[in-house]
Amino acid sequence: MRGGNERRPAHDDVHMRARTAIVVVTYNSAPVLGDCLRSLARGAEGVELTDVVVVDNASRDGTLDLAETFTDLPMRTVHMGRNAGYAAGINAGVNQLDLATLDSVLVINPDCRLAPGGLATLADVLTVPGRGIAVPRLVNPDGSLQPSLRRTPTVRRALVEAVIGGTRAGRIGKLGELVTDPREYERAAPAAWATGAAMLISVDALLQTGPWDESFLLYSEETEFALRAADLGWSLWYEPAAVVEHIGGDSDTNPMLAALLAVNKVRLFRRRRGFMPALAYYIAVVLGESARAMAGRQTSRASVAALLRPSRRIQTLAG
């Protein structure tokens, strides 16, 4: 990351607009990228948008050509040459920026649309000391809530989710990791971590936390980054006044991606908690996926196979 430890002076004028850059990581994203980029100009109203960096993981559908047509944005593109994963794409995009001149960096998926003024709302969140990451309210294309907030992973939560399912567990107190109670999304509040589809990160938090962990390829990288930032004293803050429309990924329907998600969350838990707690967590996840596999869910069958047989685990992404 460029910029080192030298930072431009903090704002001494409340009317001074935050200087923000945007990083979009793409892979065969031409069908959705246009709407994402078209939303950025109005979405960035109220901030000074310095850069839009589209980092492409070797798309074959003209994604980069499409990005380069958006000459009204401060656009630059990065061709990775391979499908290196989400974290590697973010790191490559951040490395294009002069962080010493910025206040924050928005990481956003290409299947997202930023509502007008949303970026300024998130930037205001980060003016409070100790807040390092700001996340918006995610909605589906029909406007309905898309649950995005998570609690800290624990063995107890994994067991409860194995027995009654993650959606139901998320509605009962704090039993589940995924927050599914709609009432929790009506108020601004801190969270352990959140879906990485749209995250505004302060430059100070980014510099102190360091690069995103590229070993996770596609899932759990945002979890790892948010929890590592929290270890250093940077909180993640949810702000419902900022809204982002998110089409959503394929992990609920694609067996390969579902298996990668399951394996990565076990890997992350083991890294943070050690062998014995991780063994209990692993057993809980296997039990839960096995129960759903017996009910006929193809994604759970793939997850069980990957959890029990390391040889079935994905080491590189397609493309």
Q: Which of 123-137, 231-245, 292-306 has the lowest mean pLDDT?
A: 292-306
**What pLDDT sits at residue 260?**
86
% of the chain beyond a pLDDT of 90:
74
The answer on pLDDT for 7 being more than 60 is no
- Token duo for residue 159: 């067991």
Better-predicted residue by pLDDT, 188 or 10: 188
Helix ranges, the chain (H):
30-43, 63-67, 86-94, 118-125, 155-164, 166-169, 203-209, 221-231, 255-273, 275-294, 298-308
The answer on pLDDT for 251 being more than 80 is no
Average pLDDT, integer, range 205-223:
92
Average pLDDT, integer, range 18-24:
98
**What pLDDT sits at residue 2?**
56
pLDDT band at 317 (very low <50, low <70, confident <90, very high): low
b or e along 148-174 (b: 16 or more beta carbons within 10 Å of the residue's beta carbon)?
Answer: bbbbebbbebbbbbbeeebeebbbeee
Strand partners, 237: 134, 190
The answer on pLDDT for 310 being more than 60 is yes
Average pLDDT, integer, range 236-265:
87
Cα–Cα dist 37/114, whole Å: 9
**What pLDDT sits at residue 97?**
98
Task: Please report the DSSP string for 23-42 in residue order.
Answer: EEEESS-HHHHHHHHHHHHH
Cα–Cα dist 306/118, whole Å: 39
**What pLDDT sits at residue 258?**
86
Contact 245, 109 (CB under 8 A): no
- Token duo for residue 8: 């431009």
**What pLDDT sits at residue 171?**
81
**What pLDDT sits at residue 165?**
82
Cα–Cα dist 44/227, whole Å: 27
The answer on pLDDT for 148 being more than 70 is yes
Tell me which range, 87-101, 263-277, 302-316, is most confidently predicted by mean pLDDT.
Answer: 87-101
Average pLDDT, integer, range 74-103:
96
Average pLDDT, integer, range 288-298:
90
Q: Which of 3-12, 22-31, 221-230 has the lowest mean pLDDT?
A: 3-12
**What pLDDT sits at residue 314?**
62
**What pLDDT sits at residue 167?**
80
**Span 130-144, pLDDT tens digits:** 999 999 999 999 999
Q: Whole-prediction pTM value?
A: 0.90
How many CB atoms are closer than 10 A to CB 58?
A: 18
Average pLDDT, integer, range 218-244:
95
Q: Which of 46-60, 61-75, 263-277 has the lowest mean pLDDT?
A: 263-277
pLDDT band at 13 (very low <50, low <70, confident <90, very high): very low
Compute the mean pLDDT over every residue in the chain, rounded to the nearest whole number. Answer: 90
Average pLDDT, integer, range 94-120:
97
**What pLDDT sits at residue 58?**
92
Would you list the domain boundaries of the chain? 19-151+192-246, 255-311
How many CB atoms are closer than 10 A to CB 34?
A: 16
What CATH number is given for 19-151+192-246 in this structure? 3.90.550.10
**What pLDDT sits at residue 12?**
41
